[in-house]
Amino acid sequence: MTAAFRRKSLLRIAALLVFAVAGAGCATMIPREVVPERLADEAHLAGMPNIRVWGDASVESFAVLSRTEKPRTDALAATRGRREQQSPEVNILAISGGGDNGAFGAGLLVGWGDAGSRPDFDLVTGVSAGALTAPFVYLGRGRDAELREVFTKYKRSDIYDPGIVSPLLGSGLFDSSPLEHLIAKYVDDRFLREIANERRKGRVLLIGTTNLDAQRPVLWDMGRIAMSGHPQALNLFRKILLASASIPGAFPPVRITVRVEGRTYEELHVDGGVTQQVFVSRPSLAIRDGDPWSKRTATRLFIIRNGKISPEWEAVEAGIFSISRRSISTLIKNQGIGDLYRIYAKAQIDGTDFNLAAIPSEFGVTREELFELRYMQALYDEGYRAGFRGYRWMKGPPGLTRKALHPAPLNPETPALAVSMPD
C-alpha cells in the first residue's frame, strides 16, 4: 500500500470518521420511530412474512421459518430428478465482504465457470461486496458477464460521491446514491423473476445485514422476497443489497419500514460485515420434508474471503489518524479470520468438506484510491486465472498445522447443510 493511497483514501476516511464521532452529539438526521426493544423479535414487513431471521437465532427459530415452506414443496418435485443426477453433494458458497477487493471473488467465480467445473450452488450467502456478487452467481453462468462488469467497469464515482458530506447534515460522510442507482441498473423485474424461479427449485440465496438498534445480524431470504409478489418486493430487494454494502459512518444506513402491533417503525440496517464478515446459515432454513437436499448426504462448503488472510506489514505513521486506520483494518482482518475459524470448527464436527479461497499474499498490485479500475482489473484477472486453471482450495483457516488442515472425511450420515454458526 503506497503512502499516496494512505493519504488520499484511508487516512482521509479515518479522519472524517473520528470527526463524525466527535460531533455525534450535535449531528442530526430525519427522525424515525424506533422499534421498542421488547418488540424487536416480532417486527415484520407487511405483506412479506417469513423473509428474514436473526443471524444468531436458535435452531428452533430457523425450524419455524422452514415450516412455512411446506406448501411449496410440490414445486420441487419437477426438478428433483434433474438435481439429484447433477450432483450427489449439497454445494454451499459463502462470499465475504471486502469493498473493491470483491473483484477477486468475482474473477475467481467467472474463471471457475468458464472452466466448466463450477457447480450450481444449493445455497449462496453474501455480505457487503459479497452481497453484490451473490445474486449473480446464484443465477448461474448466464449472469457472469454482468458480474464481470460490476467489478471491472465502474470507478469510485460510480459507487459513491467522493465529495465530503458533513456528518452534521446526516448519517453518512458520503452519498451512496450512485451505488443505489448501480444496483437498480442490474436488479430489475426480470432479475427478480429469475431469483424467484431458482428459489422455487429449492435453492437459497441469503444476504446479511446488521440491525444497528438490535446490534445483531439479520439474514434475508432473497428468493422468498422475490416470490412474494408484493409490489414493494423489488424495492426491498435493492435496499437490502445496498444496506449490506453500506459501510457505517461512511455511507448512510438504510431505513427499512416494519410493522408490529399495528404500528409502523423504521429499522436502521448497515454493512453485514459489522457483525460477520462471512456466514453460513443454520441447516433448518433450507431443509424441508421431501426436499431433494435431504437425499444427498455429502456437503461441500466453498468460502471466498475477499482479502488477504496473511499479515501485511506496513510502516505506520505515528499520527492518531494513521494509528486509528491501521487498527481498524487490523480489527476487520482478524474478525474475518475468527469467522473462518468458527465455521471451520463446525464443519469438522459435521464432516463437511471445507474449502477456502483468499487473495494470495504475493499479489502486489497497489492502488492510489479506492475503487481504482486498474487495481480492480488486476485483482479480477488474478482471481480469474486461479479459477480457470483450477484453484487449489485451502482446507482450513490460516495458522493450523498440516495435520489439522487435512480435510475430514465426508460423513454419509451427516444431514445436508449441517454447517452453522455456533450459538
Question: Average pLDDT of each block of 10 consecutive residues along the chain (423 residues)?
Answer: 46 47 47 92 91 83 56 44 59 94 97 96 95 98 97 91 57 84 97 97 94 95 95 97 90 93 95 92 48 62 93 81 79 85 90 94 89 95 97 90 44 36 32
Residue 411 lies in a domain: no
Grid cell locating 190? 426480470
Amino acid (1-letter code) at residue 367:
R
Q: Please give the residue range of the domain that contains residue 317.
A: 31-69+88-289+298-389
How confident is the model at residue 60, as a pLDDT?
Answer: 61
How confident is the model at residue 298, as a pLDDT?
Answer: 76
Residue 408 lies in a domain: no
Domain count of the chain? 1
Task: Give the active site residues.
Answer: 128, 271
Cβ atoms within 10 Å, residue 173: 23
How confident is the model at residue 63, as a pLDDT?
Answer: 59
How confident is the model at residue 369, as a pLDDT?
Answer: 84
Q: Do residues 373 and 152 make contact, with C-beta atoms less than 8 angstroms apart?
A: yes
Rounded Cα–Cα distance for residues 128 and 134 (Å): 10
Residue 413 lies in a domain: no
How confident is the model at residue 21, as a pLDDT?
Answer: 43
How confident is the model at residue 306, as a pLDDT?
Answer: 95
How confident is the model at residue 370, as a pLDDT?
Answer: 85
Residue 225 lies in a domain: yes
How confident is the model at residue 84, as a pLDDT?
Answer: 47
Tell me the Ramachandran region of residue 290: left when phi exceeds 0, alpha when psi lies from -120 to 50, beta otherwise: left
Which of 237, 220, 271, 268 is CA-nearest to residue 96? 271
| 205: β partners | 124
Residue 5 lies in a domain: no
Residues 399-420: b if buried by 16+ CB within 10 A, e if exposed: eeeeeeeeeeeeeeebebbbbb
Residue 12 lies in a domain: no
Residue 8 lies in a domain: no
CA distances from 61 to 105, 219, 221, 224, 414 (A): 31, 12, 14, 17, 21
Cβ atoms within 10 Å, residue 58: 13
How confident is the model at residue 310, as a pLDDT?
Answer: 81
How confident is the model at residue 329, as a pLDDT?
Answer: 79
Rounded Cα–Cα distance for residues 404 and 354 (Å): 12
Residue 400 lies in a domain: no
CATH number of 51's domain: 3.40.1090.10
Rounded Cα–Cα distance for residues 354 and 92 (Å): 10
How confident is the model at residue 40, as a pLDDT?
Answer: 94
Residue tagged 432479475 (cell numbers) = 191
- Label residue 260 exposed, middle or buried (CB < 10 Å: 0-12, 13-18, 19+): middle
How confident is the model at residue 67, as a pLDDT?
Answer: 54
Grid cell locating 112? 471457475
Grid cell locating 131? 452481497
